[in-house]
Chain A
């Protein structure tokens, strides 16, 4: 079946620190991979996506590379800001258009 596993939080970093949130997946086919961000009291916002192996998704300084050989899609940012504090979800989707989400990783960035 399909599933997503992401590192458990919470994660607390100082401003300008390097961020990595690990995500691995299990899928029966060739999924598209996503990172979504959720701010307190809000819905999900698409952060970035990658649709095939070796694709790199990027947005707002965040990056993630679709690694088929390690079934991973780790999220990275070189220098986090206080405004990046949120919950981050890794997700996959394939034929059938049903998302499978990880459990989320809470990030707090302190000044």
Chain B
């Protein structure tokens, strides 16, 4: 049974560009959350998607946007990249309403130069 799959694993972008990261949730999960983990820090919540709608959002600017597809997979888009956006982006999936049982992916390492 596949867990959470994220792509790509590594990415290098230039400041000002746009990037799209992808996540396929664990089988049976319908809720996807995204986290940003800067080097040496704990993950910070970006947003959560369920039923193709953003349900919660953390303290991130509008440059960060997302989407969830009918098959529950999700994308994270970041516009106008800044050097400070360099981080590991983690996707986590869950069954909606479950209090715990999150499964995390291995992440996408984004480097902005």
Contact = CB atoms under 8 A, between A and B. Distances in A.
User: Contact size class for B?
Assistant: 20 to 34
Interface string B64-92: 00000000000000000000000000101
Contacts of B45: 98-100
A96 interface: yes
Interface stretch (A11-19, A37-45, A66-74, A75-83): A37-45
Contacts, number: 57
B100 A49 contact: yes
> Number of contact residues on A: which range applies?
20 to 34
B42 interface: yes
Contacts of B35: 99
18 contacts: A4-B42, A32-B100, A42-B106, A43-B90, A43-B106, A44-B43, A44-B104, A46-B102, A51-B99, A51-B100, A89-B42, A91-B42, A93-B102, A97-B31, A97-B48, A97-B99, A101-B42, A104-B41
